[in-house]
Amino acid sequence: MKTIEFKDGRVVLIDQTLLPLELKYIECDSAECIAEAVENLRIRGAPAIGVAAAFGLALTALQNSRESRERILSELEKSSERLKKTRPTAVNLFWALDRVMEKARNSNNVVEAVVKESLRIYREDIDTNEKIGEYGAALIEDGDVILTHCNAGALATAGFGTALGVIRAAQQKGRKIKVFADETRPLLQGARLTAFELVQEGIPVTVITDSTAAFVMKNYGVTKIIVGADRIAANGDAANKIGTYGVAVLAKEHKIPFYVAAPLSTIDLGISSGEKIPIEFRNKKEIEFFNEKRTAASGAEILNPAFDVTPHKYITGIITEKGVLGAPFEKSIKRAFKS
Amino acid sequence: MKTIEFKDGRVVLIDQTLLPLELKYIECDSAECIAEAVENLRIRGAPAIGVAAAFGLALTALQNSRESRERILSELEKSSERLKKTRPTAVNLFWALDRVMEKARNSNNVVEAVVKESLRIYREDIDTNEKIGEYGAALIEDGDVILTHCNAGALATAGFGTALGVIRAAQQKGRKIKVFADETRPLLQGARLTAFELVQEGIPVTVITDSTAAFVMKNYGVTKIIVGADRIAANGDAANKIGTYGVAVLAKEHKIPFYVAAPLSTIDLGISSGEKIPIEFRNKKEIEFFNEKRTAASGAEILNPAFDVTPHKYITGIITEKGVLGAPFEKSIKRAFKS
């Protein structure tokens, strides 16, 4: 099972909206197809949508390979603009697009440069996740009970996963661990995707409603919390799936260490604090209806933010491919980028 | 719209599992029918199931009205045992059954005594809620933004409601208020029932996922939190719908007053602290499936507690029909029972 891959000039990705009921792959041959998949959460997770966006540019380059250099670059610009409009919060999207576009602009063989750079981003993401897993696993003790929110697994990345990568790596080192997975309303990425991945790995996982998190922290011996991130500001404030901030506050109250696992590509040095991270608000239908059945009373307003920001004071450590960063985060983040 | 009433020797109640899509009434002529309705949450909310249980005994009394006094009492005992097994947490159920049974045992005309006492409990509940509304409304200021969890409204009581009764009474006094309603997974009593009641009253209500509560406390100016309760220990610890404890912790972190609105019949003086309150665990299918569609990956465990306990240290005040009780709760509760 591969979340996303580049194969025979096409991008093949799992339609995650159908999981866990159906494991169906989509084949994209255009950036527009990728953009639609990102918008509709067929592929999601900050690192995965970074990779998908890079592949989107590779498809545009291939489609226009017989055109002039100028024409290819102009088509790439258009695709990049289109892909940037899909989702506002995860910075990996912008990071990946900017990285590929820079290579394109500075190369004589644009098509080759774009395809190569997108594949490099893909491979780097898997490498990075394995390193995150390595550093994170060192924090995990035998008998740990880990709570996670949303899905920061192989499905959220090119492979292996960030938060779930840490859990996976710890399991591979022989640590006996149990996981509580918040179901993660409204789109249930925890119940559908995180539980699916962990069951496949043979790691014991218990799904709970999001509002049961406090109950299990108090009564079921949760020892660590690990989540992913969609964008981290230069001061360590971390945007992640709506509900993460609440989990962090609960962790503090229960004196449970709270870790964010994310690659450096998720850190946005251009943003000094979490207050400046743009938060995506999604369609109210995600809350108003389930499976086409109305679940909220007609006439009520709905507020559906997709993310929230956890201030750095609630974060014990940020697990990156350069090690576990601790407070003061501004310094440790700077150091990680320089190393 | 009446949540429950006794009419022509039958109990008529709204099947709340069908709201907000359908307003359908069920007619019960036996305690077994009431027990089934309570078990399956056709009627729910601590005060409402107290009233329903009392009416269940009234139905048993009427069905056996031609029998001997001993026979009637023995049938009532059986019904009472059956009804006590429906749900373990809400103490109003046990309180109402014990109260009716005591009247029955001490009366020569058992049938009349049981019917009268059940109707008295019904009328008292509405009176009590109106008094709770009165005391609670005095705490509400113009412009308040109130967050509530689950449904502690007219639908959770014989009428008017506890937490929503406070909101209703404040609105009737001309206070301009806005409400955030947690959708309340897994059974969505907030989205389905609280939003439904508030829309009907013309009170602005915004439905959010449970995990959005922290986000709106931080960013949308929530000024007060009011919830109901299913059982309150003698020290003020309060059991209520799963998720309430988390909301209370978040309220403390955001310095927002956290109120519990409940009649004295919800206070169990026989239980010294919340740790001794029995918590109901419900069927895992409530989380595993929605509308018959699987939402959690197969093979994952599910933990589905219906309630949690909020320690009294998180509670600003308990709004009762005898006034707003404050810390130290052990003393203020004792005083309320004596007054």
The CATH number of the domain holding residue B287 is: 3.40.50.10470
pLDDT band at A292 (very low <50, low <70, confident <90, very high): confident
Give strand pairing partners of A240: A308
Residues B83 and B143 occupy one common structural domain: no
pLDDT, tens digit, for every residue of A251-284? 999 999 999 999 999 999 999 999 999 999 999 9
Query: Active site residue: B125, B144, B182, B230, which one?
Result: B230
The percent of residues in chain B predicted with pLDDT above 90, rounded, is: 98
The residue from A230, A237, A268, A308 that is catalytic is A230
| A206 to B305: CB separation less than 8 angstroms, yes or no | no
CB distance A104 to A54 below 8 Å: no
If asked whether residues A270 and A220 sit together in one domain, one would say yes
Model confidence over A317-335: pLDDT tens digits?
A: 999 999 999 999 999 999 9
| CB-based contacts of B12, cutoff 8 Å, min separation 6 | B2, B4, B5, B6, B25, B26, B27, B28
Asked if A19 and A41 sit in the same domain, the reply is yes
pLDDT of B18:
96
- Do A20 and A149 fall into the same domain? no
- Other beta carbons within 10 angstroms of residue B159's beta carbon come to 23
Are A103 and A150 in a shared domain? no
Q: Give the distance from CA A64 to its chain's centroid.
A: 30
pLDDT in tens, A117-156: 999 999 999 999 999 999 999 999 999 999 999 999 999 9
Residue B213 near residue B182, CB atoms below 8 Å: yes
CATH number at residue B79: 1.20.120.420
Report the DSSP beta bridge partners of residue B318: B260, B325
CB proximity list for A233: less than 8 A, separation 6 or greater: A267, A268, A271, A272, A273, A274, A276, A277
Residues A90 and A140 in one domain: no
What is the distance between the terminal CA atoms of chain B, rounded to a whole angstrom?
34
3 state SS of B238:
strand
Q: What is the dihedral of CA B183, B185, B188, B191, to 10 degrees?
A: 10
**B103 and B248 in a common domain:** no
Please state, in angstroms and as integers, the Cα–Cα distance from residue A275 to each residue in A97, A310, B211, following that order.
Answer: 24, 10, 19
B138-171 pLDDT per residue, tens: 999 999 999 999 999 999 999 999 999 999 999 9
Domain boundary among A129, A161, A186: A129
Predicted-complex ipTM score: 0.96
Predicted local distance difference test score (pLDDT) of residue B77: 98
Confidence of residue B195 (pLDDT cuts 50, 70, 90): very high
Q: Please report the sign of the dihedral spanned by the C-alpha atoms of residue B108, residue B125, residue B85, residue B239.
A: negative
Domain span at residue A180?
Answer: 134-338
Q: What is the pLDDT of residue B57?
A: 98
Instruction: Give chain A's domain count.
Output: 2
Q: Of the residues A110, A129, A148, which one is the last residue of a structural domain?
A: A129
pLDDT score, position B1: 85
Q: Are B271 and B277 in contact (CB under 8 A)?
A: yes
Q: How many CA atoms lie within 13 A of B2 on its CB side?
A: 15
Residue in chain A closest to B243 (alpha carbons) equals A211
Q: Is A237 an annotated catalytic residue?
A: no
Residues B121 and B139 in one domain: no
Question: Does B9 lie in the same domain as B157?
Answer: no
Q: How confident is the model at residue A291 (pLDDT cuts 50, 70, 90)?
A: confident
All residues of chain B having their beta carbon less than 8 Å from the beta carbon of residue A311 are none
Q: For residue B180, list chain A residues with Cβ-Cβ distance below 8 A.
A: 303
Query: Residue range B181-200: average pLDDT?
Result: 98
What's the rounded Cα separation, in Å, for the pair A292 and A287?
Answer: 11
Extract the tokens encoding B176.
Answer: 């301009």
Rounded Cα–Cα distance for residues A260 and A271 (Å): 18
Assess A204–B contact: CB distance below 8 Å, yes or no. yes
pLDDT score recorded for residue A337: 97
Residue B221 and residue B252 share a domain: yes
Backbone torsion region of residue B184, taken as left when φ is above 0, otherwise alpha when ψ lies between -120 and 50, otherwise beta = left
**Per the structure block, which two tokens stand in for B160?**
């008017």
Give A-chain residues touching B295 at CB under 8 angstroms.
183, 188, 191-192
Q: What is the pLDDT of residue A60?
A: 98
pLDDT in tens, B79-104: 999 999 999 999 999 999 999 999 99
**SS3 at position A166:** helix
Which residues lie below 8 Å from residue B292, measured CB to CB, with a gap of 6+? Answer: none
Last residue of a domain, one of A129, A164, A188: A129
On whether the CB atoms of residues B224 and B139 are closer than 8 A, the answer is yes
CB A181 within 8 A of CB A205: yes
Among the partner-chain residues A195, A253, A296, the one whose CB lies closest to the CB of B300 is: A195
Mean pLDDT of chain A: 97
Nearest-Cα residue of chain B relative to residue A296: B191
Q: Does the pLDDT of residue A1 top 90, yes or no?
A: no
Q: Does B190 share its domain with B44?
A: no
> Looking at the structure, do residues A112 and A250 belong to the same domain, yes or no?
no
Instruction: Give CA–CA dist B158/B50, Å, rounded.
Output: 9
DSSP calls for A321-333: TTEEE-SSHHHHH
Residue A119 pLDDT: 98
